[in-house]
Amino acid sequence: MSQKYKTGRHLLQIPGPTNVPDRILRAMDYPTIDHRGEEFFSLAKKCLTGIKDIFKTESNVIIYPASGTGAWEAALVNTLSPGDTVLMIETGHFASLWVKLAKRLGINSELIETNWRRGADAEKIAERLLLDKTGEIKAVCIVHNETSTGAMSDVFKVRKCIDHVGHNALLMVDTISSLASSEYCHDDWGVDVTVSGSQKGLMLPPGLSFNAISKKALAAYKRATMPRSYWDWREHIEANSTGSFPYTPATNMLFGLNEAILMLKEEGLENVFARHKRYAEATRLAVQTWGLEVLCENENDFSNTLTAVLLPDGHNADEFRSIVLDNFNMSLGNGLSRLAGKVFRIGHLGDFNDLMLIATLGGIEMGLSKSSVPHQVGGTQAAMQFLKQN
């Protein structure tokens, strides 16, 4: 039943980019203004101040016209020198891409591997740092919410472990799929550089990314000798003080960012986090009722923003996803690199409500049946029951 024109709304239930709410689309639907004029400066100041509340920081947040990957690069080139060693925890596909990027920059990245089914192990990080008596390791890099596996890492615990062993490494955290959807505190958790992007919890289209910076990271910036130009923090910090940018900013994305910040504040960040947690619980309950397996194997590490689901052996997750897309006009996330064909990922983040979750789960349940994946019916029903009671 494949047809060219698909009626109704497309459900974009990949774990980012997420569904962009109409209110943000409308806020962006304006002629681009002069980025060297007063109207722009006042918009930029609102964005630069407002975004600090989302990262929960008093320090500078840099806004780049780039995807999240650009902000990864920015974090490294602003704080490190060629040949420096960093400790990276390979929790999944996105963590491994960050490792690859660091290597290309000439950074010596040392890996702690995982089975791609859990978050970073803070104790293992502490053990490694304890052996580093001469302070070779300049930074610890972790992905807060590993979007390829649906496993979260306890960032604050990692910070406490680094401090406990008395190591001086910077802590850098990728929050691209957790900011504005899962609890996160740049200042209180002692993070030095937080990396994020626009297209997930912030409900914006792709195109902006961020570095939140601690005082310690700014001090590292002064010593760091990695070549940098486009990503240079100082150029931004100086320009931002008057509401300007060192080069043409993504003006219309900033209209959207300003609206997104207003919406998050109207809902209240604590309510935003509780909403995501509730949808994650309802989703796992549905998966469990279907008799399928959640990829994340440690319940303390369950992601609030997405769930990766393993299909039984002999069933291809990409075939399942294409059946769902063809029949129900819904996109689900694919399995990445070593998980290709083995899992599908349900994004339950961003501008999302009870009925969108039920539609998502209903589409999956009907898709499981159409693609003859062995399962028990009733997962959607179980989620509805949960939502009614909680």
Ligand X SMILES: *Cc1c(COP(=O)(O)O)cnc(C)c1O
Helix (H, G, I), strand (E, B) or coil at 305: coil
User: Least distance to ligand X from the beta carbon of 348, Å?
Assistant: 14
Tokens for 51?
Answer: 């975004």
73 contacts ligand X (rule: CB under 6 A):
no
Given the rule CB under 6 A, which of 61-69, 76-84, 161-169, 268-276 is the region that contacts ligand X?
61-69
Short-list 161, 155, 151, 164, CA closest to 56 = 155
Residue/partner pairs of 298-302 with CB below 8 Å, 24 or more apart: 298/117, 298/118, 298/119, 298/151, 300/119, 300/154, 301/118, 301/119, 301/151, 301/152, 301/153, 302/150, 302/151, 302/152
DSSP annotation of 15: S
Binding mask 76-105 for ligand X (x = CB under 6 A): ------------------x-----------
**Residue number, 69 or 329, with CB nearest to ligand X:** 69
**Helix boundaries (H) for the chain:** 22-28, 38-55, 68-77, 93-104, 122-131, 155-164, 215-223, 233-240, 251-267, 269-290, 317-328, 354-370, 379-389
**Binding segment toward ligand X, per CB under 6 A, in 66-74, 181-189, 214-222, 287-295:** 66-74
Site string for ligand X, 248-287 (x = CB under 6 A): ----------------------------------------
- Least Å from the CB of residue 110 to ligand X: 20
Query: Under a CB-based contact definition with an 8 Å cutoff, are residues 305 and 201 in contact?
Result: yes
Q: Which of 69, 81, 168, 327 binds ligand X (CB under 6 A)?
A: 69
> Which positions from 142 through 171 interact with ligand X, judged by CB under 6 A?
143, 147
Contacting residue, 84, 90, 174, 365, with ligand X by CB under 6 A: 174
Is residue 176 part of the contact set for ligand X (CB under 6 A)? yes
Q: Which chain residues interact with ligand X by CB under 6 A?
A: 16, 67-69, 94, 143, 147, 174, 176-177, 197, 206
